[in-house]
Amino acid sequence: MALQTAAALSPRSISSSKTLPCAAKHPIIYSSTSSSSCFLSQSQRKNVAVGLSGVTTSKRKRAWASTVKSSLDTVGPTVNVGQVTAVDKDTFWPIVKAAGDKTVVLDMYTQWCGPCKVIAPKYQELSKKYLDVVFLKLDCNQENKQPLAKELGIRVVPTFKILKDNQVVKEVKGAKFDDLVAAIDVVRSS
């Protein structure tokens, strides 16, 4: 069977296609343990909402993202832009390395910190404004406090670390929103 390119696929062509296996039609539904449960009827396909890397189809609205990742592409850390991604001691460095030459901003906070709660919505807005920057957040609880917070030299929360090419290049201590924006702009322009 010949593979179709992503540009040739559309929600209509996928749901009407009888030659593509369900892994191509519905990548999230595919099961490697049972090949017989892999095929869906036409009525089941119409009622299923598929979400994978921004690809969505539903009964009400038909929307299609410009990029589609196969299951082979999603092995390992995923770098997301336009949103804040929660990290821990195990996922932080792999995501930073996967970001490549993108600027990475890490918000180090705690659940009980008042200033952390005040700046959190503004930090979320920044992630939607700067689509070329990866925004991460790390809860400095007991599990993450010892290894990662100590490694990054955290003494107060919130602390924002700005990384470029896997190196910390700027730091903003406290809930100083204007200083954070200025620091992000400096690192982005360098």
* CA-based nearest residue to 122, from 139, 104, 105: 105
- Catalytic residue numbers read 113, 116
The dihedral over CA atoms of 82, 83, 84, 86, expressed in degrees to the nearest 10, equals: -120
Do β-strands 84-87 and 62-63 pair in parallel, antiparallel, or remain unpaired?
unpaired
Continuous segment of H or E residues that includes residue 138: strand 133-139
Q: Residue 189 has which token pair?
A: 């322009």
Q: Which residues on adjacent β-strands are paired with residue 103?
A: 133
Residue indicated by tokens 């503004």:
122
Residues 6 or more apart whose Cβ sits within 8 Å of residue 66 = none
